[in-house]
Chain A
Amino acid sequence: MFVYVIRRLLTAIPTLFVIVTMAFFLIRIAPGGPFNQERGLSPEIKANLEAQFGLGDPLWLQYVNYLKNLLHGNFGPSYNLPDFTVTELFAKGLPISIQLGFSALALALFVGGILGIVAALNQNKLGDYSVIALATAGSTIPTFVIAPVIQLLFGLTWKLLPIGGWGDGALINKIGPILTLSLPQIAIVARLMRGSMIESLRSNHIRTARALGLSDWSVVVKHALRGAVLPIVSYAGPAAAALLTGSIIVETIFAIPGVGRYFVDAALNRDYTLVMGTVVVIALFTIAFNLIVDILYAFFDPRVRYD
Chain B
Amino acid sequence: MAEQKKRSFKELMSQPERLAPGHRMCAGCGGTIAVRAVLRALHEGDRAVVGNATGCLEVSTFMYPYTSYEDSYIHNAFENAGATMSGVETAYNILKRKGKVKDNYKFITFGGDGGTYDIGFQSLSGAMERNHDMVYVCYDNGAYMNTGVQRSSATPMYADTTTTPVGSESNGKVQNRKDLAAILAAHDIPYVGQSTFLSNFSDLHKKSEKAIYTEGACFLNIMAPCPRGWRYNTEDIMEICKLGVETCYWPLFEVDHGQWILNYEPKKKLPIEDFLIKQGRFKHLFKKGNEHLIEQFQAEVDRRWEELQFRCSK
Q: Are the chains A and B members of one assembly?
A: no
